[in-house]
A and B are shown apart, each in its own frame.
Chain A
Amino acid sequence: MALTKEQIAQRIAQELQDGYYVNLGIGIPTLVANYIPEGIEVVLQSENGLLGIGPFPYEGEEDADLINAGKQTVTTIKGSAFFDSAMSFGMIRAGKVHLTVLGAMEVSDNGDIASWKIPGKMVKGMGGAMDLVASAKNIIVAMQHTNKAGESKLLKKCTLPITGLACVRKIVTELGFFNITEQGFELVELAPGVTVEEVKSKTEGRLVIAPNLKVMQL
């Protein structure tokens, strides 16, 4: 069985370590917050100026002045801090954020990412994505393996406008967990019930199978 969006988030959450400052993008990455392993402390950074994103507020307690980068009403945790947008990206550029998780439209087998524009169709802007991918030490992409037309999103070369070059380190899709290596996408974990053949048939870029390939544990 291919992973659900929640399971993709659950797998990524296993990469979190105690003391990490983490920026989660919109969509599947946001769900990672629901699966932070017990016993570790992780602080979520929101690029609109908050360290320490808490859960959604209780009904009736929404505060228009307190939102995350997806413009959703949120709360703070104990030990939160607010700051302005320049400082927010200052800490991102300076490499203080340990892990960035974001979505993508395409990723190439050398780690290029395209995520902000479909020429002639969709122009929403890059938001903070270009700043994040240019500076983050560890970038995990959470996305579906194929697009709505069934075409691979793991490519030899991105076809859409680039967000950043050679920056993605890891990808989790509904089919498995991949490292970006010099040999291309390295399949290191298969989603339960998914075959190597299925991954091969849905991956357009260079694909290598890790010698110690495992089935993903959730």
Chain B
Amino acid sequence: MKKVYKNAQEAIADIESGTTLMLGGFGLCGLPENCIAALVQKGVNNLTCISNNAGVDDFGIGLMLQKRQVKKMIASYVGENAEFERQLLSGELEVELVPQGTLATRCMAAGYGIPAFFTPAGVGTEVAEGKEVREFDGKKYLMEHAFKADFAIVKAWKGDTHGNLIYKETARNFNPVMAMAGTITIAEVEELVPAGELNPDIIHTPGIYVHRIFQGTNYEKRIEQRTTRKRD
């Protein structure tokens, strides 16, 4: 079993322009920082990116937007990014806005081998345009499809050489469902340990979903909204 890669450059070496990528994270929390940096460095473009948010101007997917590497963004919330808004309003960037729960479930469905599902989110809104509506027990639901992604790139706290993953706190967010959904899934972890060192009872993502794993370096973990209280 050869899942362990040296670093992000090696793990993403075969990602070409025009690829569809899933990127884990919520806001700036739980982002695959090393892989994003490597993708910026590699300079691939025409990417379709599926991620809950688009980062901020100088962090996260915002770094790829600055370099015009993204052709299409599929996300639920894209505020906090001026360059994104500029590219969107000027028509340089294609955007598909998806309700957050639908986004997560479209990832989950892919990982569960379910091609489509029905959700009430978006009934009667712009999101419903062109979609099948069906009634169950007197309530209307939209049919939504599982995503297809060439690569899913996720960030976990700990991982082992079999690709088993454990996430930390709210840095879990979209990472487990995206990890299940990639044709090839790349996981970067803060700490990579030999198989057998993680308790099998507390694995969040079983290694079968993870094809490549490496220990990341220099995590900035930027905080978007630093809120605190004073000590009494």
Contact = CB atoms under 8 A, between A and B. Distances in A.
A153 to B, nearest CB: 18
What is the predominant secondary structure among interface residues of chain A facing chain B?
loop
A65 B221 CA distance: 8
A147 interface: no
Contacts of A93: 101, 119-121
Contacts of A50: 169-170
B43 interface: no
A6 interface: no
A73 B97 contact: no
Interface string B214-232: 0000000111111111110
Contacts, number: 185
B124 interface: yes
B78 A130 contact: no
Interface string B6-37: 00000000000000000000111110000000
Interface in A116-137: 117, 123-131, 134-135
Interface string B103-146: 11101100000000001111111110000000000000000000
Interface residues of A, number: 52
Nearest to A134: B120
B69 interface: no
Interface in A92-133: 92-93, 117, 123-131
Given A134-B119, A165-B123, 8 more contacts: A65-B171, A66-B169, A83-B172, A84-B167, A85-B103, A93-B101, A130-B125, A163-B125
